[in-house]
Structure 1
């Protein structure tokens, strides 16, 4: 929705010297003016600076903003603004002056994203609610007039009181983390919202750790459903932010049991939907090789842990009656018999983003991992 600039201008007098805030990186020379008068004078270098500043701003867009809010135009000292009068050099110069004053003193600090939108600088938000409300209203008017599309507004926890103000302007929740809330605003009324949705998946790992005596490292969790009473299961957990699957699997085993391991490969993964918080879930079963054997449990999560004979582990009623776990065990056993190849991590760089990422795939030659499967 269009936000009136009247309250914005009235609150601060729209005097650059009084407002005191400058947009980062701006080269414009600003006015030396008295806020008791609308007749502010432009400095000698202002004309040149403003041409550079507004080179990408359409004149029609500026006129549209002031015509749509006559009260704001009047307060800005361009009460007689119209298509007829705008053609004059003096009126055009004055309108440019006030537009730049608005941009440099009230529009929130942003960086451009790659898709025609803006990302608000969370470190340079106003300190109080009133200033934020004025700046947000002015910013939306400005962004709309210059043809921006999506707006990303990150509000830290210590700015939580700004959330209702952003909602009032039409912002929507996108996602929340421990230290902030992300909100978005899609500007074009005649285009579908193209902003990407929040992450749709969570990622978990399970470690199949087996030693030379064909014993599997298993645990009993302290907090579990009644269906898992007495069940010995593989150590499992969630991947942390920016953590690799192979490091996450070893970390979870170490945290729960105290046993150090080496990653071998991903033998299988499961994809399920509407799990925790209605998110989809990816769960990777990883084969790990133990490099230590002493068990020291994490007593906050784990009730017990031990090395259990593989045959005994597989014969548990819970596994025998669950088709998915039965299949997982079949795959792990085939991997032990070298009749099945898992996915191993390889670091690659893509021209798409010039970043190093991890690609999991079967090696070209099975004997590279002592696997006889073709």
Structure 2
């Protein structure tokens, strides 16, 4: 079999031709992943769904012959008419974002080993206490009926490629206008089947305020203020909920130096040579400041 690179029908592909000159066909532009699979180049897809159907079929045949395993097919919005074509060939949905849908195909006749879609969403809450022993609290414009009137900690979701500690600082700033400095992760909650059958990780972070003037985000926040810690704790909704009460107990213990949370440290691992954030507790009195130090595992 001879392989010749070519540009055809607006798509970069490979032409495979047997030595006798028969069975000429094209294969979608793609590259091998590190697990013996194929990742199709979404920028070099055919323009026409009929042509895509033909090339996709021949591509699967070729990749099967070459012993490939999983196929990752990313279809942008402007290629939405390719979705039913891929489903007809045996592809399945993996996940979707605002600009694309990712589909997969497992070639071997054995259990699929492709990793599943992300199973968790990650949220953060900021516990901010000033020098007057007042806690920064908000009332949300949109909330469950049972939470109407509750003064709560500023909370939100982590953005893509965002650190837990920077996400907590950002959410507090967005909701209240208060600038803060990350100190520790005090505790976190792990819950399941929260939204669209996804699990939820929620991190409570202790932050030090570095400004005092409140300026709320009036799109999602009804009101925000500095509230006396004792008044905050005594709210019926706090006292009547085991989860809320335990979280506040931990926060108060940290203020009283009866508890230590997890500081963040920047660490590089030899396994992937990537800089990561490692959260751990320092047990001696030489406690590092909140800035991230670097080390090597």
TM-score normalised by the chain length of structure 1: 0.73
Name the CA distance, whole Å, in 1 between partners of 2:265 and 2:280: 8
Q: CA deviation at 1:98?
A: 4.3
Pick aligned residue for 2:193 from 252, 260, 274: 274
CA apart distance, 1:93 = 2.7
Gaps (5+ residues) in structure 2? 290-297
Counterpart for residue 58 of structure 1:
none
Cα deviations across residues 301-323 of structure 1 (Å, max 9, x unaligned)? 00000000000000000110111
Match of 2:93 in 1: 173
Structure 1 gaps of 5+ residues are: 1-15, 31-53, 55-75, 77-91
Q: Which residue of 1 aligns with 2:72?
A: 152
- Corresponding residue to 1:328 among 247, 252, 256: 247
Match of 1:229 among 126, 148, 151: 148
**Alignment RMSD, CA only?**
2.2
- Distance in 1, Cα, partners of 2:172 & 2:64: 52
1:294 and 2:220 aligned: no
> Computing the radius of gyration over CA atoms, which structure comes out larger, 1 or 2?
1
8 Å Cα contact 1:341-1:366 kept in structure 2: no
Residue 163 (str. 1) matches residue 55 (str. 2): no
Contact 2:39 2:71 in 1 (8 A): yes
2: distance between equivalents of 1:245 and 1:18? Answer: 45
- Greater strand percent: which structure? 2
> Corresponding residue for 1:349?
268
- Report which of the two has the higher share of helix: 1
Structure 2 counterpart of 1:93: 19
Q: CA deviation at 1:181?
A: 0.1
> Which runs of at least 4 in structure 1 moved beyond 2 Å after TM superposition?
16-24
Say if 1:197 and 1:22 are closer, same or farther in 2 by CA, change over 3 A: closer
- In 1, Cα distance between equivalents of 2:238 and 2:285: 29
Distance 1:176 1:360, change over 3 A: same
Matched, 1:111 2:31: yes
**Number of equivalences:** 286
When normalised by structure 2's length, the TM-score is 0.91
